[in-house]
Structure 1
């Protein structure tokens, strides 16, 4: 699952977290209507064969790795505004973290989906959940493999809001 980042040639695009003087700011969403929004992110954790086999067999010395990573991802999504300075605190209606294994490639794919009914999107919450889940896998497996690689972290899809639906080009 790889692709180049989306690009656009629209000349009127600007960074929403910078004001007209180039100073950082939180985006004012106070005048926006509530709407249903969702976002899904993915990343991949690549392990050595030995670490993957320990994880796959659930014999890792630190316990049930994927359930711990799931809980860490959920907690991270809830606290996204505390970690990313200009993020809004959102009332999250759903946070889902799923894992799929590729035994041939020795990778775990993590997918995080967040949903809300609010005035701003949940892309950052989904991305944060996904990446903290990946870091938790790293933490719990590092005794077996310090060379674990977290890769291909990206937004897959977002729905809702003024900009509507966006899907990654795969």
Structure 2
């Protein structure tokens, strides 16, 4: 496998230095990205699950994680240095308990010149971290197992896992 050159990376300029991608010549399109994170919840945590959520002294876990995920998606360029600041048309975070896992799906929409994959991934990731934070009083045996892009539409190419 050959080593990619700096021209293969969109966030490096011709001299190999970090650079924000110039989207000034791109057209505005409707864009949607969906990302997922999964959190393994040991039995001790799952036993607390009632009425579609886990209640702790800090509050309702999934409800709080949903709000945290939405807030994180909105703050993505503050966390990831070369991300563009985007006006989000929508952000939806859904959390379901499936077997031993909390499955988080973050869908982000915008009409713009660049995609919202990083916003969706950040929203799902921070929601997963929030679940961990709120449940760590029960046990530290939780594991954030996976965060990945499920799909994206708009822009140069669509993607679906």
TM-score, normalised via structure 2 length? 0.91
Name whichever structure is richer in strand by fraction.
2
Deviations 1:26-56 (A, max 9, x none): 00011111100010000101011011221x1
- State yes or no: 1:60 paired with 2:53: no
8 Å Cα contact 1:47-1:145 kept in structure 2: no
Q: Secondary structure at the match of 2:34?
A: strand
Number of matched pairs: 153
TM-score, normalised via structure 1 length? 0.86
Unmatched 5+ stretches in structure 2:
none
Q: Please identify runs of 4+ aligned residues in structure 1 that moved more than 3 A.
A: none
Match of 1:167 in 2: 160
Deviations 1:80-112 (A, max 9, x none): 00000000000000100011112xx32100000
Unmatched 5+ stretches in structure 1:
1-10
Match of 2:78 in 1: 82
CA distance in 1, matches of 2:55, 2:72: 25
In structure 2, the CA distance between the partners of 1:106 and 1:61, relative to structure 1 (3 Å rule), is: farther
- State yes or no: 1:126 paired with 2:126: no
CA distance in 1, matches of 2:84, 2:15: 22
Match of 1:152 in 2: 146
8 Å Cα contact 2:37-2:146 kept in structure 1: yes
Match of 1:140 in 2: 134
